[in-house]
């Protein structure tokens, strides 16, 4: 049966591939698509009957849910190294914000905050497009434009709930000013796709920065977390996931009380307990391949230890992928905005992020499982997932493929048709 244009966009959500970035609203126009909190609790596109197939084609091209991409070839310099898992890189360092306050309030060690502040104070950009806590949905993030260092600090910390930083990228570009974008790896992939449609992107986006991302938390799981902590979800007025230490307390605020939980109370004691949307489970790029600089945690095996929480000042791992990224890191360190501890390698990254390895190796057979099930399948570019799968034993790939097919058949990857 031939799908209508509306059904084609909705299918991205129904098949569990929407990342909620908001780009489809900006690309199609708010008269055709509005990205809002849907009945599922996620940010989803609410699609008008008036949408046509040309616009659905456009959504298909730019959507990072179905079209995840790596670094454009023209940004890969001749001296760039390529690691099959960790992608193109020029330099990897252990680093933290030179300013103690930025280091303290940042999610890990404030490196993204410090870079954003450095770019503004040195006038290399006019503003930063990133995210901050949502004004009315405490667990969500929302797009945030910072023209001052004070505003940058309002956005410090990771937002582990639905966040749509690209929802108004058309209007952001209308400002006709140069800026840096900080978003999740999938947000950057969306913006790289959009650069093919709107030539202003490559003129105006001067720096592409990203946190390495293992996935965000589904809204229902966040509600379950509130309840475990003795708080009713509708009482919550503010949620700070992390920051103010590394990782710092997960702080739930209501009119009556403040409840501090540990990062491990939120995410679980180890990787096997992490709960995330289906799209994040099959993500081919949690490591920010489309960025100039990707910034990560440095906990061995990916999780902090409860006993270190009060004493750890935080250390980021930063991966400069492009010449612009390597220059920015070096300049920021020379100016004291960052402190470099030491250079590191892809092997260190693999020790800190074993979950990123697992996902990168599993993405291709998982996509084969989606195809077997007749599902929409992300079409990746420049992410090497087929080559990575070829390094794995056939039995492992077969297990991943079958596992995905089984999940689809069991309805575990389905999302409802988006409605408000
Ligand atoms: C959903 C999610 C999952 C993550 N998973 C991992 C992981 O698996 N491994 C790992 O090493 N690190 C992960 N991180 C990154 C880690 O939490 C830190 O963000 C990273 O180490 C950078 O630390 P920082 O101190 O430099 O950040 P900060 O200085 O606090 O700066 C963070 C910047 O990111 C922006 N930002 C935060 N959340 C969002 C969002 N949802 N959408 C768009 N922009 C946002 C903020 O506006 C801010 O500018 C994740 C982050 C997120 C948001």
> What is the tens place of the pLDDT at every residue in 107-140?
999 999 999 999 999 999 999 999 999 999 999 9
Contacts of 159 (CB under 8 A, 6+ apart): 131, 132, 133, 140, 141, 216, 241
pLDDT digits 0-9 by tens, 55-88? 999 999 999 999 999 999 999 999 999 999 999 9
For residue 155, the ligand 1 atom closest to its alpha carbon is 47
Cα distance between residue 133 and residue 155, in whole Å: 7
How far is ligand 1, taken at its centre, from the CA of residue 213, in Å? 7
Start-end of CATH 3.40.640 domains in the chain: 78-217+273-352
- What is the 3 state secondary structure string of the chain? CCCCHHHHHHHHHHCCCCCCCCHHHHHHCCCCEEEEECCCCCEEEEECCCCCHHHHHHHHHHCCCCCCECCCHHHCCCCCEEECCCEEECEEEEEEECCHHHHHHCCCCCHHHHHHHHHHHCCCCCEEEEEEECCCCCCCEEEEEECCHHHHHHCCCCCCCCCCCCCCHHHHHHCCCCEEEECCHHHHHHHHHHHCCCCHHHHHEEEEEEECCCCCCCHHHHHHHHHHCCCCHHHEEEEECCCCCCCCCEEEEECCCEEEECHHHHHCCCHHHCCCCHHHHCCCCCCCCCCCEEEECCCHHHCCCHHHCCCCCCCEEEEECCHHHHHHHHHHHHCCCEEEEEECCHHHHHHHCHHHHHHHHHHHHHHHHHHHCCCCCCCCECCCHHHHHHCCCHHHHHHHHHHHHHHHHCCCCCCCCCCC
- Work out which ligand 1 atom sits closest to the CA atom of 116: 49
- Cα 157 to averaged position of ligand 1 atoms, centre (Å): 6
Q: What is the pLDDT of residue 140?
A: 98
Distance of alpha carbon 102 from alpha carbon 117, whole angstroms: 9
Q: CATH classification of 78-217+273-352, choosing from 3.10.150, 3.40.640, 3.40.1000, 3.30.360?
A: 3.40.640
> Which atom of ligand 1 is the closest one to the Cα of 210?
34
Average pLDDT for 96-114: 98
Question: How far does residue 50's CA lie from ligand 1's centre (Å)?
Answer: 37
Give the model confidence (pLDDT) of 213-244 as tens digits. 999 999 999 999 999 999 999 999 999 999 99
Q: How many angstroms does the Cα of residue 211 sit away from the middle of ligand 1?
A: 4
Q: How far is the CA of 112 from the centre of ligand 1 (A)?
A: 8
Which of 35, 97, 107 most suits a substitution to test ligand 1, by most atoms within 8 Å of the C-beta? 107
pLDDT of residue 204: 98
Q: Which of 245, 218, 132 has its CA nearest to residue 182?
A: 132
The whole-angstrom separation of Cα 242 and Cα 257 is: 18
Ligand 1 atom with the shortest distance to the CA of 246: 25
What pLDDT score was predicted for residue 270? 80
Ligand 1 atom showing the smallest separation from residue 109 Cα: 25
Residues of the chain with CATH 3.30.70: 1-67
The CATH number assigned to the domain with range 1-67 reads 3.30.70
CA of 376 to the centre of ligand 1 (A): 28
Q: How far apart are CA 64 and CA 190, in angstroms?
A: 5
pLDDT for res 1? 80
Residue 106 pLDDT > 90, yes or no?
Answer: yes
The answer to whether 159 and 178 are in contact (CB under 8 A) is no
**C-alpha torsion sign, points 338, 343, 346, 349:** negative
* Pocket (CB within 6 angstroms of ligand 1): 106-113, 116, 130-132, 141, 155-160, 163, 165, 182-184, 187, 211-214, 216, 243, 295-297, 316, 353
Q: Which of ligand 1's atoms lies nearest the C-alpha of 157?
A: 30
Of all protein residues, whose CA lies closest to atom 5 belonging to ligand 1? 213
User: What is the mean pLDDT of the segment spanning 14-21?
Assistant: 98
- The band of 327, judged by pLDDT with boundaries at 50, 70 and 90, is very high
185-195 vs 53-62: helix crossing angle, rounded to 10: 130
pTM: 0.98
- pLDDT tops 80 at residue 105: yes
pLDDT tier for residue 272 given thresholds of 50, 70 and 90: confident
């Amino acid at each position: 049966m031939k799908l209508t244009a509306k059904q084609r966009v909705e299918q991205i959500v129904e098949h569990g591939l929407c990342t909620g970035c908001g780009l489809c609203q900006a690309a199609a126009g708010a008269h055709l698509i509005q990205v809002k909190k849907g009945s599922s609790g996620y940010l989803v596109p609410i699609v008008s009957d008036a949408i046509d197939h040309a616009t659905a084609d456009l959504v298909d091209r730019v959507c990072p849910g179905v079209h995840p991409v790596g670094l454009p070839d023209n940004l890969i310099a001749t001296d760039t190294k390529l690691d099959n898992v960790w992608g193109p890189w020029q330099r990897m360092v252990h680093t933290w914000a030179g300013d103690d306050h930025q280091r303290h309030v940042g999610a890990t060690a404030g490196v993204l905050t410090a870079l954003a502040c450095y770019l503004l104070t040195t006038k290399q950009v006019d503003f930063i497009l990133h995210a901050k806590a949502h004004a009315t949905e405490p667990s969500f993030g929302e797009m945030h434009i910072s023209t001052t260092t004070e505003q940058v600090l309002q956005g410090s910390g990771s937002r582990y709930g639905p966040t749509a930083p690209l929802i108004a990228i058309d209007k952001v570009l209308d400002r006709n000013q140069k800026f840096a974008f900080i978003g999740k790896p999938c947000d950057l992939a969306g913006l790289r796709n959009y650069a093919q449609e709107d030539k202003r992107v490559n003129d105006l986006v001067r720096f592409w920065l990203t946190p390495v991302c293992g996935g965000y938390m589904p809204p229902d799981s966040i509600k379950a977390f509130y309840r475990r902590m003795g708080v009713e979800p509708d009482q919550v007025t503010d949620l700070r996931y992390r920051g103010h230490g590394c990782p710092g307390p997960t702080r739930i605020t209501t009119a009556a009380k403040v409840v501090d939980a540990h990062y491990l109370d939120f995410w679980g004691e180890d990787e096997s307990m992490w709960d995330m949307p289906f799209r994040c489970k099959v993500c081919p790029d949690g490591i920010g391949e489309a960025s100039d600089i990707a910034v990560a945690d440095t906990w061995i095996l990916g999780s902090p230890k409860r006993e270190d929480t009060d004493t750890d000042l935080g250390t980021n791992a930063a991966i400069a992928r492009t010449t612009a990224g390597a220059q920015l890191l070096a300049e920021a360190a020379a100016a004291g905005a960052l402190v470099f501890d030491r250079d590191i390698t892809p092997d260190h990254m693999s020790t800190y992020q074993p979950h990123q390895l697992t996902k990168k190796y599993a993405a291709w057979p998982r996509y084969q499982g989606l195809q077997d099930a007749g599902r929409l399948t992300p079409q990746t570019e420049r992410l090497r997932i087929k080559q990575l799968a070829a390094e794995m034993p056939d039995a492992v790939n077969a297990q991943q493929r079958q596992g995905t097919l089984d999940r689809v058949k069991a309805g575990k990857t389905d999302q409802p048709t988006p409605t408000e």
